[in-house]
Amino acid sequence: MTRTAVMLLAASAAWAEVRLLVTVVEPRTGKPVPGITAADLAVIDGGSERKVAGVHFQTTPVDSLILIDSSAVGRDLQGIAADMIGQLREKEQMALARYDSSAELVQDFTSLQQTLLRQLAGIKFGNTPRVLDALYAVAGGGFEHATLRRVILVVTSGLDGGSGTSERDVIRLARKNGISIYSLYMTGGERGMFENLGRQTGGATISVRELSKTAKKPAEQVFDAIRSNYSVTIAGNLAPTDRMKMEVRKPGKYFVSWLVLD
């Protein structure tokens, strides 16, 4: 075999698998689910099942941008956002943005909780919540100074007041920039939309009401879900399509999401 042939064979082998970041949590509360194996995961794409070659559970640090609903219906969310800021760990960074009819970056990425809390306290509330427009804006320009895994945590009333941006546009931009979207919502008016955003970006959707019923430390549980994920490899060198679905084939109810890493 010639050297060129060996190099081509090695290059082909290097692309024989696709690596995904996969999140598996309990529906609504977002409690992470450990113990998932390759045998438990089914990946369906284009009508065919793709082989799961490997599954590895991991806890990874994150750089998270908290996007708070500052519309007239979002006034009760300030305390929740403050609790989320309290989960910032050493070596991690957080940024803070607000949205109503438009989005504004209130604080760029920093490791200082007090700076974030001071900026949060100064947010003014009013106008209509256009969350998809806001997500598109921060996914496109809000992570210039992030160095770790990129996460948007939307702290939201659960409503959208007529965004001009589509879910598909937000998902495509988030995937392009390696961003996972997590939503912490008060009401279920747009729950399906938030679930779709999370499912297709490696994120999750968490109900504030359900979380308060089940979690002793709600903010800590949210960030347990954000930091806990699986590194999953699937056989084949074809990139997953927009129609790919993933499910856990074991007893119980699960919310499963994924984001391509390679």
Give the position of tokens 């998902």. Answer: 171
Q: Quick one: tokens of 156? A: 């939201």
Domain spanning 60-216: CATH 3.40.50.2300? no
Q: What is the mean pLDDT of residues 84-104?
A: 96
Query: Which among 173, 91, 175, 77 has a CA at the least distance from the CA of 120?
Result: 77
Q: What tens digit of pLDDT does each residue of 155-207 get?
A: 999 988 889 999 999 999 999 999 999 999 998 889 999 999 999 999 999 99
Tell me if 52 sits within 8 A of 244, measured CB to CB: no
Give the position of tokens 């920093």. Answer: 110
At residue 87, the pLDDT reads: 97
Domain ranges of the chain: 16-58+230-260, 60-216
Considering the chain, what percentage of its residues have pLDDT values greater than 90? 75
Q: What is the mean pLDDT of residues 25-45?
A: 92
Residue 7: pLDDT band with limits 50, 70, 90: very low
